[in-house]
Amino acid sequence: MPIAENEALASLRILVAVARADGTVHHDERKSLAAALESLELPGGTTVDGLLSAEVDVDAQLRELVSAEAREQIFRSAWFMAYADGACTKEEEELLEKIAAVSKPTPDQRAALERMFVGRAKGGDAPLAIAKIDDPARRTQEVKRRALRYAVLTAALGAFPIPGLAIATDLAVVAVQLKMIRDVGGLWGHVVDMQAAKSILYGVGLGTGARLAVNNLAKLLPGWGSVIGATTSFASTYALGAVIEKFFASGQKEISDPAALRAEFKMAEEEARAVYADRQDVIIQSQRQNKATLDSLTAELKAGKITQEELEARVAELA
């Protein structure tokens, strides 16, 4: 159920407060938040710079959240933003508890969020069995094929979010995108470790705690421009494939100009939306084929039978 515009703005301000819980919005946090907020069409008079620079009275913003949906969602999004990019600080924990006093999450809801990160491996860097392709035409064709395949899978994930825990499927989308980056690197003859793949993903503005927290919140925002779900998941994955192909073709080993990379990604994303419209039949077929498996995996996650990391690994195998 959509939430009111004033609740949406209050929620975004609270997320900014989480980012500056330690006293300031650090440069990387600001970039991540800006990239996430720019994906939304903010109401008249509201700007990204205004949201990021204004002081936030968290208590006043929490009072704006009158619906149960808004209160539940802000705790999930704030919790995710605090934990997704590393350890939660003492200041963030204190702010989360203030939000929890209003949101009143149940022990089961807290446990479900915590399970997303319990036991996550620090490795994940095992080399992928991807054969290098020397012929440029064949390599480009294979990159496009893989990008479409992974984009279709992430569209299916976007169409079947876990009720009350949509962040879990957002994380699975990120896992698929990271695998695609490493796959494309392999086609160029590079061994791309997980940290390098994350750097590329973060470089285009995807995968950060800020981006995922805002996207998760945006699913409840009426008419805010960015269609969060199957369309967005497909477009971001397909566009990522095009951008990383150019990245590896340029011979770069690390991102030298993040702003240029994000601008290129935005252009590719618009083209990817057109591809999404043309591939509706393939996407619908994939959604039907994978629905039973995705439903089963998400049920196991909610029941605590598998971890978030296990969910992500098994989802990536579907591509």
**131 in a structural domain:** no
**27 in a structural domain:** yes
Both 67 and 195 in one domain: the answer is no
CB 205 within 8 A of CB 264: no
Both 68 and 176 in one domain: the answer is no
One-character DSSP codes across the chain:
----HHHHHHHHHHHHHHHTTTSS--HHHHHHHHHHHTTS-PPTT--HHHHHHS---HHHHHHH--SHHHHHHHHHHHHHHHHTTSPPPHHHHHHHHHHHHHH---HHHHHHHHHTTTT--S---PPP-------HHHHHHHHHHHHHHHHHHHHHHHHSPPTT-HHHHHHHHHHHHHHHHHHHHHHTT----HHHHHHHHHHTT-S-HHHHHHHHHHTT-TT-SS-TTHHHHHHHHHHHHHHHHHHHHTT-SS-S-HHHHHHHHHHHHHHHHHHHHHTHHHHHHHHHHHHHHHHHHHHHHHTTSS-HHHHHHHHHTT-
**Which token pair is 288?**
């039907």
**60 in a structural domain:** yes
Both 144 and 270 in one domain: the answer is yes
> What's 41's domain CATH number?
1.10.3680.10
Boundary (domain end) residue, out of 80, 115, 150:
115
Both 164 and 238 in one domain: the answer is yes
Both 111 and 140 in one domain: the answer is no
Domain that holds residue 261: 136-316
Both 292 and 207 in one domain: the answer is yes
**130 in a structural domain:** no
Both 96 and 157 in one domain: the answer is no
**9 in a structural domain:** yes
**124 in a structural domain:** no
Boundary (domain end) residue, out of 115, 146, 179:
115
Both 103 and 150 in one domain: the answer is no
Q: Hey, how many other C-beta atoms are within 10 angstroms of the C-beta on 86?
A: 8
Both 57 and 149 in one domain: the answer is no
Boundary (domain end) residue, out of 65, 85, 115:
115
Both 108 and 171 in one domain: the answer is no
Both 105 and 143 in one domain: the answer is no
**279 in a structural domain:** yes
Both 155 and 298 in one domain: the answer is yes
Predicted local distance difference test score (pLDDT) of residue 184: 95
Predicted local distance difference test score (pLDDT) of residue 226: 38
Q: Report how many domains make up the chain.
A: 2
Predicted local distance difference test score (pLDDT) of residue 225: 38
Over its length of 319 residues, how does the chain's per-residue pLDDT go in tens digits? Answer: 567 878 888 998 898 898 888 666 666 667 767 776 776 667 667 777 888 888 899 999 999 999 998 898 899 889 888 886 667 888 989 999 999 999 999 888 888 777 766 545 555 566 567 899 999 999 999 999 999 999 999 988 877 666 556 677 888 888 999 999 999 999 999 988 888 998 899 888 887 777 777 777 776 665 543 345 778 889 999 999 999 999 999 887 778 888 888 889 989 999 999 999 898 888 888 888 888 898 898 888 878 888 888 888 888 888 7
**120 in a structural domain:** no
